[in-house]
Structure 1
């Protein structure tokens, strides 16, 4: 990877959307959310990793959070999604990794969750794992990241600034024929007389015709069609699982704004969860009839708009923060190089 300094979208001159970002402009602006990466780079052929997202710092299995899941085009897999759909709740961290590491990621989540104090008698859990295929730059058949390496991402999860670009689960990903990766963004939204925070993290690895805040970015390599993206949304707004599913669906509006092809070979997945303590599904609340606050349908539209904006910006941050990467194309067994998006061209584009 090259060592040229990379910049986030706003540092280049773009200011997408109408809502203000949080202090970090990251998913971790939602209080309590933590993110950890394990970046696995080895020799000339391993360019992969894992990214873990923790909704809060307690025992997530015991204090579950409401969640909603959405699929735009399902060419891929999202482990644990059927139980999220059925029960409307999340009981483990969310881990992102490469396609062939999905099983190892499930085992890493299982080990991490079973080891939490208070889970000594747990015999069933729903590990949640998203994936995209990084074989354009990574020897995906080599069995990396390992279970232990994925576990390192969970152990490294922290609040605060989030590293972006070619890191963690985005180490070997490609978007629009350019280097993709991990990106994040956030928005502050006023609703029901309160200010709520919404944050997004993406693993970008898809294609189309790249559009940056409504302006076409023309490049010969930027017109790939197939690929996948995983979008994770966190908010501190008190939402039901039904409205979290609706919120997850709005993320695809942000995906479309970037020029995504939404092709037959794309896997487009979004997961949304609420960290609000009042809607947390604690052991006591799950044992009796419980009252939960709920931001009503008539007041939720600003959050929908924020999800669109933050998803678009998170995707673009994943591109602007990624570095040109040299690796291994597993399909043809040859060395491979994927160029980073040109910050100079983007700066010129922002001035028009």
Structure 2
């Protein structure tokens, strides 16, 4: 009977001991750890399901942060996790990669989460994102600075521009203008493409030449004298009307006429020369007009010489007639001599 009682007491003690062990063991298990702030569990810790007494797990810095100090290991003691000793700091993206004709406003810094602005140089225009943000892998956003262009300018009346490229003028490119023959340029000779995509001024204008040039030519015309004046020659200078010259000029010479006839009683000698009017239309230069004027003067001198010769011959004939009349007054019949008959018939 005593043995039976001892056996039952032993079984009760074992049951109590088992229950005690279960309770103590259950009290020593830690809950699954969680990250705090910028600390997160490692991949290995995330795969664990049970965290019994003295279990260790590791924490790490979250996205955009990197380890500053500490190891990040925590331990389960009496059902609680120890405090982590890990500290993290933000990742530094550093200055963005340089781009042609682009700069950045780094006032906000270069640490994780910072936003900076892209700025193009003068004469360039931004395409793409005008802002960049620092993420864990680096800066986000793509941008490019393209040079500013202006529209090809229109042609001007009575002139043209000298831009011969199919491409549009770029920032700083000048566009030159010229006027057609007979027109002068009013305004700037060239206009320049600015950073706004507009030209710095309006195109110039081409207007007709206002100034006039006047050319005066002189024509020398011979004028024969009468016998009473001694058979001399009188040279008269005639100034033709002024001619207005633009690009192509027309010079009209005066008409010179050898006036009038020389008449006698018998043996009439008539000298008559008429210079036909001529019109010269030069298409080259003022030098050609001066050469034509010189040629006309030479012709006038030739005509004057011919007229003088004719006057001299006429004077000789008249003198001979006078001598013949004087011989006939004595009735010597010398006027009927054969050697003189040839003069009578003139």
Which TM class, normalised by the smaller chain length? under 0.3
TM-score with structure 2 setting the length: 0.17
TM-score with structure 1 setting the length: 0.17
Q: Which has the larger radius of gyration?
A: 2
